[in-house]
Amino acid sequence: MIRTVATTPYTDQKPGTSGLRKKATVFQQPNYAENFVQAVFDVVEDKAGATLVIGGDGRFLNREVIQVAIRMAAANGFGRVVVGRGGILSTPAASHMIRKRGAIGGLILSASHNPGGPTEDFGIKYNIANGGPAPEKVTNGILARTLDIDRWLTVDADDIDLDADGVVEVGGMPVEVVDPVGDYAALMETLFDFDAIRAARLTMAFDAMSAVTGPYATEILEGRLGFAKGTVRNGTPLPDFGGHHPDPNLVHAHELYETMMAADAPDFGAASDGDGDRNLIIGRHRFVTPSDSLAMLAANAHLAKGYTGGLKGIARSMPTSAAADRVAEALGIPAFETPTGWKFFGNLLDAGMATICGEESAGTGSDHVREKDGLWAVLLWLNILAVRGESVDAIARDHWAKYGRNYYARHDYEGVESDKADALMAALRGSLATLPGTRFGDLVVEAADDFAYTDPTDGSVSRNQGVRVLFEGGSRVVFRLSGTGTSGATLRVYLERYEPAGGDLDRETGDMLADIVAAADAIAGIVEHTGRTAPDVVT
């Protein structure tokens, strides 16, 4: 029996860079999660009889919202729900599950790199049939529906046992509880040479940050690849991630960093985020920026069996350094520059225009799924290390010697009052026309704009994606506001300086970027607008 529940709209359900993210307490308001899920279901066409995948990163509210969503899926006419055991599916595993099952889409319950727990963040994201995040056309439709929603549909049924594999019925609809890891691990075995990795007898530390990658990393690294027990740290997903911030950067994964800089460091270190789509790569005594990692993976991908045929193209988000562009140029393949967020890569991947994609925020992935994929990047690195028989440091130095080095850092100013952050960006946008030709120390502005992207596959245009200031000689600073936060605003300042092959390739990043940091403040008036004299996170 379908039950119709009357409701009224919430006006704050606009999906951000990656789905709807709010404090868990916001999601606990009456009808809040239900309204959003119903808005999603209302814009999904042809759902009658179709399969829907549901899973999340295990954070606080994960199980509760899954039970609600299953009943609503039954009432909305879906034919089947596939849900990960324990309510668990990493974001890349969910993407793969949608594709493998020919599902019409999936709900991924996660706020990704945001902290979790009763006083922290929760999130819901809808992915479409290609396994990727819903594009703006769809998220705009969802937003519009949240603003005029007046009812949601459910069935009267008990919670299912999320911990028992098998099929049960909810309101006449079969719900299949499946192993969240097996299909994903099998996919990885088709892409990488597990025998070669095992034979290389590398040592490694992997920090799952008490988030969703724990079971995946334990099965793949310790189980199938034979790394020593204990290689995976913080490997049990916890509803509050053990109180940690599951963002794999140098600040929040500092214990891994310290392990990798110690005298007895293992060969390779990596970490992942809340929902398993990000990766942090630290070799023994060598941190690799995510932008460099993208370039180095692209340059070496042909060494792994999934990519022996070469790459069709490389795509990066605009704030990501141009290191990958140089690899594309050397390979004679196209390079694409998209706005921030994985949803912009989906069309390029579907069209066969790009094979590898990446973002400076520690997201890398390929056309094997339609999400960024943390463990995929880790396994590709391991495969490359095994084949080349060299250290991460040696591979990085070799790369820079050939392509030059893009010194790079991101400065985040968190919890800035929204009106101050908006005023900063408005002033910046207002000054764009006057910036070219202006000198800041030794730096001269060559061009400045507000990044807009035209999708080459469907012609859709996305504007206001971040302010770029390009200096003569290839250095650059980019300013944008985060679209994933849940309180106040986060200003992200992306700093990049290119040093050509034969130049100064072995310097400290901070020293190499100091003049650009100074210019960034002079251009945007960061101190003046925000009162902040230093960033909260440097990565």
Which residues does the annotation mark as catalytic?
112
- Verify binding: residue 496, ligand VG1, rule CB under 6 A: no
- Verify binding: residue 277, ligand VG1, rule CB under 6 A: yes
Residue 247 Cβ vs ligand VG1, minimum distance, rounded to whole Å: 8
Measured CA to CA, the distance from residue 280 to residue 3 in angstroms comes to 46
- Verify binding: residue 273, Co ion, rule CB under 5 A: yes
Measured CA to CA, the distance from residue 468 to residue 448 in angstroms comes to 5
Measured CA to CA, the distance from residue 159 to residue 484 in angstroms comes to 30
Near ligand VG1 by CB under 6 A, which window of 183-191, 339-347, 380-388, 413-421?
339-347
Strand 80-88 and strand 51-56: the pairing is parallel
- Verify binding: residue 383, ligand VG1, rule CB under 6 A: no
- Verify binding: residue 455, Co ion, rule CB under 5 A: no
Q: What is the size of the binding site for ligand VG1 (CB under 6 A)?
A: 18
User: From the list 36, 122, 342, 407, which residue makes contact with ligand VG1 (rule: CB under 6 A)?
Assistant: 342
Strand ranges across the sheet with 204-207: 232-233, 204-207, 268-271, 280-283, 286-288
- Kindly compute the dihedral angle of the four CA atoms of residues 516, 521, 526, 527, in this order, to the nearest 10 degrees: 120
Strand 280-283 and strand 286-288: the pairing is antiparallel
- Verify binding: residue 127, Co ion, rule CB under 5 A: no
Structure tokens at 517: 């940091």
Tell me the residue type at 329. Answer: E
Measured CA to CA, the distance from residue 153 to residue 3 in angstroms comes to 6
Our CB check for ligand VG1 shows the closer of 213 and 484 to be 484
Q: Is 87 exposed, middle or buried (0-12, 13-18, 19+ CB in 10 A)?
A: buried
Near ligand VG1 by CB under 6 A, which window of 200-208, 340-348, 424-432, 531-539?
340-348
Near ligand VG1 by CB under 6 A, which window of 47-55, 70-78, 479-487, 513-521?
479-487
What is the SS3 assignment for 97? helix
Are 538 and 522 spatial neighbours (Cβ–Cβ below 8 Å)? Answer: no
Per-residue binding letters, 90-119, with Co ion (x by CB under 5 A): ----------------------x-------
Interaction partner, residue 492 (Co ion, ligand VG1, none; CB < 5-8 Å by kind): ligand VG1
Interaction partner, residue 361 (ligand VG1, Co ion, none; CB < 5-8 Å by kind): ligand VG1
Our CB check for ligand VG1 shows the closer of 362 and 386 to be 362
Measured CA to CA, the distance from residue 525 to residue 431 in angstroms comes to 11
Near ligand VG1 by CB under 6 A, which window of 34-42, 140-148, 191-199, 477-485?
477-485
Our CB check for ligand VG1 shows the closer of 42 and 277 to be 277
DSSP run (H or E) holding 284: none
Residue 506 Cβ vs Co ion, minimum distance, rounded to whole Å: 32
Instruction: Report the phi/psi class of residue 457: left, alpha or beta, with left for phi > 0 and alpha for psi in -120 to 50.
Output: alpha
Structure tokens at 219: 């099965």
- Verify binding: residue 113, ligand VG1, rule CB under 6 A: yes
User: From the list 42, 57, 247, 275, which residue makes contact with Co ion (rule: CB under 5 A)?
Assistant: 275
- Residues in touch with ligand VG1 (CB under 6 A): 17-18, 112-113, 273, 277-278, 317, 340-342, 359, 361, 363, 482-484, 492
Which residues bind to Co ion, rule: CB under 5 A? Answer: 112, 273, 275, 277
